[in-house]
Structure 1
Amino acid sequence: MPTEPHVLIVEDEPNLATLYGAWLEDEVSVETAYDGTDALDAIDETVDIVLLDRRMPGLPGDTVLETIRQRDLDCRVAMVTAVEPDFDIIGLGFDDYLVKPVSKTELTSLIDQLLLRSSYDDQLQKFFALASKKALLDGQKTVAERRTSQEYAVLEDRLAVLRATVDDTMMELLERDVYRRLCEDISRTPIATE
């Protein structure tokens, strides 16, 4: 039986951390850290998802995120924060971003989405992380603000390159008929009968 996904909630407001944990505990294994230092002590290769507050006393979430990525840990990271996104998020290595307050539905949907993304290869993970940043900024910034942002222009360029690469990979798989063959292999697998 596969193990439950392990989620680390990093939130300096204990009541909020407890609430998030209660919302998620039926679906995943939950661990809580109340500051950045405790988060870095708690995170290891067993953690699948980190829900990270961006503004915390002591070690801020941006620094925790940078350290997680420097350690090359294979986990998805979502910022769950009251900090409104600005163009500075483009350079941050998170996978998704929610602005507080968040609902149980938003949080559980985020966890489902991040678990799905964990099954993707690196190329698709990067593509969806960039696409999430673009969608977030598209919803938060005016057209004029996006047009005048050099960071946003770089984001769009990086996303276009990745989209072309992802499209090429999908076309190659379709041309080689990999998907159809996989389905045929699955259908040929004998099903155990009693």
Structure 2
Amino acid sequence: MSDESPLVLVVEDERDLSELYQMWLAKSYRVRTAYDGRAALDKLDDDVDIVLLDRRMPDLSGDEVLERIRERNLDCRVAMVTAVEPDTDIVDMPFDDYLVKPISETDLVEMVENLCIREEYDDGIRELFSLASKKALLETEKDASELEDDENYQQLLSDLEELRASLDDQLSNLDTDALTLIYRDLDRDQSDDE
């Protein structure tokens, strides 16, 4: 990220919501808006630090836009901000965070702040943030019994534990705020072990 305030691209086909998100974020961030997936790809460049992406849009879905963002190897964080309830299909999606609408100003601003903090760390730590966020999201939205037998969720747990073990040295050097963000999304009993 540059010395300027981070640039957030809000991709939302509902103009009222897009304008609301822009108003909330403009206090601390530079903001661009796009009302569909194609416009988002046109407005996306190396200056964009964070993309807030709706999953349901008329021309290109948010999932397709996410895929194209990653294909272009742009160094930006992506958060899905959508009314689509998450399912275990999200495990393999390369986003950094996920909010289910309706959302509050506090939730949106806090998520963007967290994504900015994540940007300061290397790929392994950012991947840990992403996996931990997915785990927390699924555990909030799904029944424990559903998750227990789900192959994708079990793979997520395995990947998370493996990554966490490989990053132990780096984790010990993180500041308290970063650790709080990571462990907020991990099991409480696991965080007590640190």
Q: Provide TM-score, normalisation by structure 2.
A: 0.86
SS of 2:167's partner is helix
CA distance in 2, matches of 1:45, 1:83: 28
| Structure 1: gaps (5+ residues) | 175-194
Q: CA deviation at 1:170?
A: 4.1
**Aligned residue pair count:** 173
Match of 2:11 in 1: 10
CA distance in 2, matches of 1:129, 1:39: 22
Q: CA RMSD in A?
A: 1.4
CA distance in 1, matches of 2:171, 2:89: 31
Residues 149-160 of structure 1: pairs in structure 2 closer than 5 A? 149-160=150-161
Residues 84-123 of structure 1: pairs in structure 2 closer than 5 A? 84-123=85-124
AA at the equivalent of 1:165: S
Q: Percent identity?
A: 54
AA at the equivalent of 2:153: Y
Residues 44-193 of structure 1: pairs in structure 2 closer than 5 A? 44-170=45-171
| Structure 2: gaps (5+ residues) | 175-194
SS of 1:73's partner is coil
Bigger Rg, which one:
1
Q: Deviations over 1:100-144 (max 9, x none)?
A: 000000011011000000001100000000000000001111111
Q: Provide TM-score, normalisation by structure 1.
A: 0.86
CA distance in 2, matches of 1:170, 1:37: 38
AA at the equivalent of 1:46: D
Q: Deviations over 1:58-112 (max 9, x none)?
A: 1000000011011111100000000000001111000000000000000110110
Query: Which consecutive aligned stretches of 4+ in structure 1 deviate over 2 angstroms post-superposition?
Result: 168-171
Q: CA deviation at 1:43?
A: 0.5
